[in-house]
Each structure stands twice: as structure tokens, then as C-alpha cells.
Amino acid sequence: MSELRFDGRVAVITGAGGGLGKAYALLLAGRGAKVVVNDLGGTFDGEGADSTPAQKVVDQIKSTGGEAVANYESVSEWDSAQKIIQAAVDHYGQIDILINNAGILRDKSLLKMEIADYLKVIEVHLNGTYYCTKAAFAHMREQNYGRIVSTASAAGVYGNFGQTNYGAAKMGIVGLMNCVCQEGARYGVLANTVVPTAGTRLTATVMPPDVVDKVKPEYVAPMVVYMCSEQFQESGKIYTAGGGYYSRAAMVEGPGIFLDTGAGITPDMIARQIEQIRTLEDGREYSSAMDQTGYVLSKMI
Ligand code: NAI
């Protein structure tokens, strides 16, 4: 199998001044992609701004013969998000790959969390992913080609204490990508989601230092870079990656039961059959809401 290459491809990576985004930028540039290295450069909880991180990554890419340009706009407003995507078009004439990766944390338990901290996290992760995707999609649809990889989290897919803002945003991104997948299908625009695990400044707040060193962003990057390649033909999927572990996560619906709607359905009937309703054995994935609704309508009694 020949090496995956990205010659002639243009990638925008948000939040690529450090951590995972930097690893994606270095790997993609090393394989021929022209890269827009976006990073606002604020603190881990989203305060301030600094052009240094993005510029440093660009310098590193250029020092090894790669092509990259820095961008310091925030993903979290529609105007600035459009400028991030426009940077790719202005510098390189197109955008083929978007990795929605920028992120912050403002962890607090539900009752202690300020509304502002909830909204800020939603703005950066969920709204930022929406804005950048919307701006990039226009170009991708036009050229009938695009790869969008967005970043979810186990905190959203499975839940985590003290992260209601983050978990909501991250699972929202899965829903967003499920729908972009439907809209992009006939234009060759594929939208997928990664659930990473890596030692970065975000996880340094919760992981012991030896674990931070062990689970390097460089182990996540090969999966994400593969998901950005021409060879990768899937859409609407969630892949996990971290610490040398790679897998697929999915929404699975059990076979359920069909009760006779004409006969009247009571809560007691539900209680009696809850075991069969609950089981995921012989469950399946649905490719869209229509797929799921169509199945129910075809079977209902
Ligand atoms: P990181 O803090 O090293 O990287 C995030 C980058 O996003 C930073 O460089 C930051 O300056 C930038 N950023 C923040 N707000 C921005 C904005 N409004 N506009 C543009 N850039 C902005 O952290 P890490 O871990 O590399 O995070 C990358 C993504 O992966 C995030 O979305 C995070 O939630 C997600 N993630 C990371 C996990 C991990 O184990 N490290 C686990 C699950 C998800």
C-alpha cells in the first residue's frame, strides 16, 4: 500500500497552535498538504489571545520544507470563523480539509457552573464547529470534494462529572456532523468525528503527569489524518483514538418491540416488557433519521 499523501490539498486546522491540532498540522504538512494553522492563542479556559503558538507551528512546518500560513482568528464568532476559511482560499485558492479542533475547558459541577461558563464552552466548541463547517462547506460543495473531521469527547459520548457544558457541546458536535454527513453526501463532502485521548494542556488539569507523557497527540494524529484522506470514504462515523488504541463508537438501537397501537398501550405494558425494550442484542445502526423512522413505520402494528 502506497503512503497516504496530501499533495495539492489544502487543510484548515483550528486550534493548531498546540496539543492535538499541532500534531495534525505537522503530519498533514509533512505529507504534502498546505496548511492554515489557526489558533487564537488564549488560555486553556478561553481568556486572552496570542499569535505566538500558531506562528511557531508555521515556522516549524516551514523549517522542514512544508507550506503553512498562520491565522489568529477565533472560531467562536461567525465573522471571524469565515476569515479562517477565507485564509485558505486567499493563500492557496481552495479548502479540501477542515479539522474542527479548537477547544477550551471551564469545568464545574452543574450547580456551581456560571451561565457564562456554560455559554462560552458552547460558543467555542459547538458554535465554532458549526461556523467553520458552514463557511468551509460552501467551497467544498462547489468543488465536489471535502473532508471534515470534528472533535467530540468521551465526556460527551459517555458523560463526565463537572463537564455539563463541555459534554453538551461535544455530543452536539456528533449531531451536527450526522446532519452535515447527510447534506454533504451528494457533493463528496464527508463529515466525521474523532474522540481523542491525549496528554495536552487541557488534559494536564485532570491526568497525572506520567499519563500525560504516555498518551501523546502523535498517536491520535495518524487516525485523524487518515480520516482526512481521499482513501477514507466513510461519513457520519465516530472514531476514537489515543494511546495506541483505535476503535469505532456508534449509536446502536435495540430491536425493541412493537405493540398493537389499536389495542391501547398502557405504562403497565411497558413495565412488563421493559427487558425486551431495553436490550441492545441484535441491535443496529441507522444511517439517518429517515432510515430509523422508515423502519418503525414499516413495522408498526
Ligand atoms: P489544547 O489546549 O492543547 O488545544 C486547543 C487549542 O485550541 C489551543 O491551542 C487553543 O489556543 C485553541 N483555541 C481555544 N479557543 C479557540 C478559539 N476560540 N479559536 C481558535 N482557537 C482556539 O488542547 P487539546 O487537548 O489539544 O484539544 C484539542 C481538541 O481535542 C479540543 O476540542 C478538545 O476538547 C478535544 N479533546 C481533547 C482530549 C484530550 O485527551 N486531549 C479528549 C477529548 C477531546
For residue 39 and ligand 1, the question of a CB distance below 6 A is answered with yes
- Where residue 216 falls among pLDDT bands split at 50, 70, 90? very high
15 Cβ below 6 A of ligand 1: yes
Closest among 63, 58, 102, 105 to 81, alpha carbons compared? 102
* 158 a catalytic residue: no
| Most informative mutation of 200, 213, 214 for ligand 1 (most atoms within 8 A of CB) | 200
User: Which of 44, 107, 103 has the alpha carbon at shortest distance from 74?
Assistant: 103
The predicted pLDDT at position 274 comes to 98
Q: Which three cell numbers stand for residue 260?
A: 398493537
pLDDT tens for each residue of 94-122:
999 999 999 999 999 999 999 999 999 99
Domain 10-249, CATH: 3.40.50.720
The Å distance, Cα 85 to ligand 1 centre, comes to: 18
The Cα 22–Cα 37 span in angstroms is 8
Q: What is the mean pLDDT of residues 135-147?
A: 98
Distance from Cα 21 to the centre of ligand 1, integer Å: 7
The residues with which 195 forms a beta bridge, in sequence order, are: 240
Residue 40 pLDDT more than 80?
Answer: yes
Q: Separation of 258 CA from ligand 1 center, angstroms? A: 44
Average pLDDT, the chain: 97
All three cell numbers of 188, joined, read: 463528496
The single residue of 166, 187, 286, 295 carrying the catalytic annotation is 166
How many Cβ atoms are within 10 Å of 296's Cβ, its own excluded? 11
Task: For residue 245, give the nearest of 203, 205, 214 by alpha carbon.
Answer: 214
20 lines ligand 1 (CB under 6 A): yes
Question: For 127, which DSSP code?
Answer: I
pLDDT at 213: 87
Q: How many CA atoms lie within 13 A of 42 on its CB side?
A: 17
Output the DSSP codes for 97-116.
EEEE-------B-TTT--HH
Tell me how crowded residue 61 is: count the other CB atoms within 10 A of its CB: 25
Is the distance from the beta carbon of residue 196 to the nearest atom of ligand 1 less than 6 Å?
yes
Residue 40 Cβ inside 6 Å of ligand 1? The answer reads: yes
The residue-averaged pLDDT of 52-67 equals 98
DSSP H or E segment with residue 67: strand 67-71
Specify the pLDDT at position 121.
98
3-state secondary structure of 60: helix
Q: Whose Cα sits closest to atom 33 in ligand 1?
A: 103
42 CB under 6 A from ligand 1?
yes
pLDDT of residue 206: 82
What percent of the chain shows pLDDT beyond 90? 96
Rg (CA), the chain: 21
Q: Where in the chain is the domain with CATH 3.40.50.720?
A: 10-249
Ligand 1 mean position, distance from CA 76 (Å) = 13
- Find the angle CA(270)-CA(274)-CA(276) to the nearest 5 degrees: 120
pTM above 0.95, yes or no: yes
